[in-house]
């Protein structure tokens, strides 16, 4: 069951851009009857592995801003334990409600993007080659070599993105790409291609740090389920990467958003 759920989660990760990791926790909850707290560390390991594979694939094909990714991960390492501590104290019903609310917000953003910018709906983890059109972020600019100019204001903005991402990673076991990508696009001049590629590295590092913090805080990690789930997610992501170039677009993103809304409704009912 763990391997089968992992394949589904990995397929979502391979087919979609930011937000695909949001399905890992609900799949473990519905498939194995776990609580949010039980699902968090296993989901994070799978997200870390899948994002790591995506980073390697995007490294030579796109523009990974590794300094930005490391700043995001460093800030996230400081706030992830806070999310873990809060998640251990909140009632499971409250955590599920928060997760459902995030699913609704992300679904609404993806639906709006599919209608407003259909070209960006085609930029997913499987098709990151080259670079797209730059955004108009007012905080972080680039120099003549295309690299970000690290002013104090820019560092604070990217560090803030990491702090939010790390907290949500510890609280809900999500990679945070749904935060990182739109935030990078709003604050910097990075293209959608570069923002997604950079978010993959940041997600891999942040998830790894959160898993380490989870173990350090004494949380149990059921390796007998985590191992098959991670292997299944990697297999599913590789499959998703193969078929994504043939099916990506606004329609897929809209369908993905509907599935998010359905998962949110099931979480609330549960």
Give residue 162's pLDDT: 95
Give residue 128's pLDDT: 53
Give residue 136's pLDDT: 66
Show the low-confidence residues of the chain (pLDDT under 50): 126
Q: Alpha-carbon Rg of the chain, whole angstroms?
A: 17
Give residue 185's pLDDT: 86
Exposure of 94 in the CB half-sphere (CA atoms within 13 A): 7
Beta bridge partners of 142: 148
Q: Which residues contact 157 (CB under 8 A, 6 or more apart)?
A: 139, 140, 187, 188
Q: How much is the pTM?
A: 0.86
Give residue 126's pLDDT: 46
3-state secondary structure of 17: coil
CA angle (175, 74, 19) in 5-degree steps: 15
Beta bridge partners of 148: 142
- Spell out the alpha helix ranges (H) of 16-116: 24-32, 36-59, 66-89, 92-116
The answer to whether the Cα torsion of 13, 210, 197, 105 is positive or negative is positive
φ/ψ (deg, to 5) at 35: -85, 170
Extract the tokens encoding 237.
């992501």
Give residue 79's pLDDT: 96
């Amino acid at each position: 069951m763990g391997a089968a759920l992992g394949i589904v989660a990995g397929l979502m990760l391979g087919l979609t851009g930011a937000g695909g990791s949001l399905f890992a926790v609900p799949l473990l909850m519905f498939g194995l009857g776990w609580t949010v707290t039980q699902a968090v560390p296993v989901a994070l390991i799978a997200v870390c592995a899948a994002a790591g594979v995506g980073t390697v694939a995007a490294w030579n094909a796109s523009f990974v801003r590794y300094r930005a990714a490391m700043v995001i991960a460093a800030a996230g390492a400081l706030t992830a334990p806070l999310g873990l501590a809060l998640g251990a104290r909140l009632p499971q019903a409250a955590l599920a409600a928060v997760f459902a609310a995030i699913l609704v917000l992300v679904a609404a953003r993806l639906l709006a993007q599919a209608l407003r910018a259909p070209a960006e709906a085609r930029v997913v983890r499987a098709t990151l080659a080259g670079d797209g059109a730059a955004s108009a972020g007012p905080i972080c600019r680039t120099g003549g070599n295309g690299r970000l100019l690290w002013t104090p204001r820019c560092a604070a903005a990217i560090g803030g993105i990491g702090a939010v991402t790390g907290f949500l990673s510890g609280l809900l076991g999500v990679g945070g790409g749904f935060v990182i990508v739109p935030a990078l696009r709003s604050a910097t001049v990075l293209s959608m291609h570069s923002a997604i590629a950079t978010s993959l590295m940041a997600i891999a590092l942040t998830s790894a740090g959160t898993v380490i913090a989870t173990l350090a805080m004494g949380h149990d990690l059921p390796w007998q389920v985590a191992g098959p789930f991670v292997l299944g997610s990697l297999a599913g992501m590789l499959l998703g990467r193969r078929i994504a170039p043939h099916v990506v677009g606004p329609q897929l993103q809209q369908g993905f958003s509907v599935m998010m809304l359905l998962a949110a409704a099931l979480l609330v009912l549960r």
